Amino acid sequence: MDKILITGGAGFIGGFLAAMLAKQGHSVHLIDNLARGRRDRFLTRLLAEGKVELLERDLRRADALDDVADDVTHIFHFAAIVGVPNVLERPYATLRDNVLLVERALACARRQRSLQRFVFASTSEVYGGSLELLHMPIPTPEDTPLALPSLTRPRTSYMLSKLYGEAMVQHAGVAFTIVRPHNVYGPRMGMLHVVPQLLRQAHCLADGGVLPVSSVDHRRTFCFVDDAVAMIERAARAPGCSGQVLNVGSQSPEVSIGELAMLVQHVVGKRLVIDPQPATPGSPTRRCPDLSRLTELTGCRARVGLEDGLRRTYEWYRAAVFDGDEREVAR
């Protein structure tokens, strides 16, 4: 049995990863200040099973992890200011706090006696400047040169904080794996992502209604959360993944946001009129990861098809949020 620490563990990917690891029989400890995640039904059930413990604390405090014992085997660092609206509203806090959170997590990692891997959750946003300024290949491999977009843009703060975090992890003197998740979606992810936003709009519209869709021509691949956490868990254990930077996500199908909206209306069971809107400021026109390295090192591939994943996601949101009494889990 491993002893595992997950920062930001009450959130979306961290929570599903905790559930997977607990099911495997490991001892899982979540660190979260519940600024975005919260004690919803999913987390309450997870804690009740006895394999998972939640330590509610703010990693920005210097002593936040002082009482963590030195026998942790794996640390997964997900805690960060995330979500485009949050980043646009607080670019300075995004830079300051995200770097500070990495420092706190690494300080804990460096005093562990039996640490096997520190896994840092970076972001696909690191490729945004390369898409804009360089001839970036698509699907995009991890070793593509990275360019910085204008530092005056608030959205740049997030990718810059994650790049700085990647550099810190690489020079911290601990065994590490850096993962760059690409458009992971699924139940319990809040309302700051295009998938739940489109699902909510489609759910609330009458048949024949008008569905406004921003960035209709922008193209993405989407990865269901069960596949993403399986990839991350495998990367944390595979010997060949130590010291690696790995894309996490789906390499296909690559669909436009307009095509995604069409699939959403099919899943919701309505015929809607797609109303194209202007592109979201700073939104990359394409995002598709090359997963060759991850597949070679772990054998993992995305298994849940887009329509199936959207259907599972809609079923959860319809019951828990749209027609239920739960507020969105992430803010």
Q: Which helix (H) or strand (E) holds 52?
A: strand 52-56
Domains detected in the chain: 3-182+225-249+286-303 (3.40.50.720)
Shortest CA distance to 49 belongs to which of 14, 79, 21? 21
The average confidence (pLDDT) of the chain is 95
Paired tokens of 176? 């590490």
Provide the pLDDT for residue 331: 52
Q: What is the pLDDT of residues 142-195, one digit of tens each?
A: 999 999 999 999 999 999 999 999 999 999 999 999 999 999 999 999 998 999
CB within 8 A of 81, min separation 6: which ones? 87, 90, 93, 94, 97, 98, 158, 161
Do residues 243 and 210 lie in contact, with contact meaning Cβ atoms separated by under 8 Å? no
Q: Which residue has the tokens 């992971």?
A: 184
Model pTM greater than 0.85?
yes
Q: What is the pLDDT of residues 286-320, one digit of tens each?
A: 999 999 999 999 999 999 999 999 999 999 999 99
CB atoms within 10 A of CB 115: 20
Predicted confidence band at 230 (pLDDT cuts at 50, 70, 90)?
A: very high
Paired tokens of 156? 């740049």
